[in-house]
Amino acid sequence: MANTDSEYKRLQWLCRYLLDENPRYRQMSVPDSMQERRDLFRALMNVRPPMPISEEFLRIQDEQLQAQLVEKGVEEILRFAQNDIVEWQGDITRLKVDAIVNAANSQMLGCFVPLHRCIDNAIHSAAGVQLRLACAEMMKGSDEPTGSARITPGFNLPAKYVIHTVGPIVTTPLPLRQQEVQLAFCYSSCLDLADEKGLESIAFCCISTGEFRFPNDLACEIAVSTVRFWMASHPESSVKTVIFNTFKDIDHDLYQNALAKG
């Protein structure tokens, strides 16, 4: 009960801070239920622009996000086969690996839509407001080209780092050949960056599927073939374990079948 009381009060403080710093929200009240408070806290983080914030807020926010991580449970990399390419279905923000890959937009500031179900929103929400601040400092108002990659700390994630990559957005019935090449570059760019930083494990989300409308089956084919070719071409790389993280059943089945083919 004490932990519940602590979280209830912590969320009251965090929501009030975020409401009060924005004149548009100051008249709003903090809801009574725990889940509504969690949702409001996340939504306010989602819409908050990258601007300075107090050390006290960061301390209390970190306490809250770490408590939520304990509740969700951390998935240890040690359970996966080393020196291998594997698939794991679940919440990527639970993975304790050297780096997880975020499918970002070209501004690389995270998703500003409150409570949106995209991977970008999930990662920024679990990492905390520090991630958007780090991205803003890294980008300095510029846009990132499709197919390239950038790296930031993971902050409140169990992963040490987040590698952000911009996948192609499909607006035609089928992806253009150029977009297929760009998607392959997303995977190789992330692996190049992980190797450059001396990382041993990396978990990829299903880049460009979902909101970016790349067909799941073709995306899987490109991802698996690109990663296998890169690993075979870099036998001395620091990267030893690659995880294809899936969330939807359709992707789970596709990656299971693709990896089983060898």
Give the pLDDT score at 79: 60
Residues 59 and 169 in one domain: no
Residue span of the structural domain in which 231 resides: 75-260
Query: What residues contact 69, with CB distance under 8 A and at least 6 apart?
Result: 93, 94, 126, 156, 157, 158
Q: Tell me if residue 83 falls in helix, strand or coil.
A: coil
Please give the mean pLDDT across all residues of the chain: 95
Token reading at 41: 């806290």
Enter the pTM of the model.
0.95
Same domain (yes/no): 120, 25? no
Q: Are residues 134 and 223 in the same domain?
A: yes
**217 and 122 part of one domain:** yes
pLDDT at 77: 73
Last residue of a domain, one of 71, 90, 119: 71
Instruction: Write phi, then psi, for 237 (nearest 5 degrees).
Output: -65, 150
Q: What is the pLDDT of residues 67-120, one digit of tens each?
A: 999 999 999 876 666 668 999 999 999 999 999 999 999 999 999 999 999 999
pLDDT tens digits for range 129-158: 999 999 999 999 999 999 999 999 999 999
E strand spans, 26-174: 75-76, 84-89, 95-96, 99-104, 149-153, 161-166
Looking at the structure, tell me whether residues 143 and 240 fall in a common domain. Answer: yes
Task: Spell out a b/e string for 9-34, using b for 16 or more CB atoms within 10 Å of the CB, else e.
Answer: ebbeebbebbbeeeeeeeeeebeeee
Question: What's the burial of 214, exposed, middle or buried (CB within 10 Å: 0-12/13-18/19+)?
Answer: buried
> Both 133 and 46 in a single domain?
no
Under a CB-based contact definition with an 8 Å cutoff, are residues 210 and 105 in contact?
Answer: no
The pLDDT of residue 83 is 62
134/232 same-domain check: yes
The average pLDDT across 197-216 equals 95
Same domain, 135 and 253: yes
Check whether residue 125 and residue 47 sit in a common domain: no
- Which residue's entry shows tokens 């920024």? 124
Q: Which one of 71, 100, 117 terminates a domain?
A: 71
| Residue (of 152, 180, 151) closest to 167 by Cα position | 180
Which pLDDT band, with edges at 50, 70 and 90, does 36 fall under?
A: very high
59 contact partners, CB below 8 Å, separation of at least 6: none
Looking at residue 240, which CATH number applies to its domain?
Answer: 3.40.220.10
What residue type is assigned to position 167 of the chain?
G
- Maximum Cα–Cα distance across the chain: 59
140 and 187 share a domain?
A: yes
| One domain, residues 58 and 172 | no
Q: Which residues pair with 202 in a beta bridge?
A: 99, 242
Nearest 5°: the CA angle 73, 132, 140 is 150
* Amino acid sitting at position 112: F
Q: How do residues 16-32 score in pLDDT, each as one tens digit?
A: 999 999 999 999 999 99
Which of 71, 88, 116 terminates a domain? The answer is 71
Mark whether 255 and 159 lie in a shared domain.
Answer: yes
Q: Is 235 exposed, middle or buried (0-12, 13-18, 19+ CB in 10 A)?
A: exposed
**Total tally of structural domains belonging to the chain:** 2
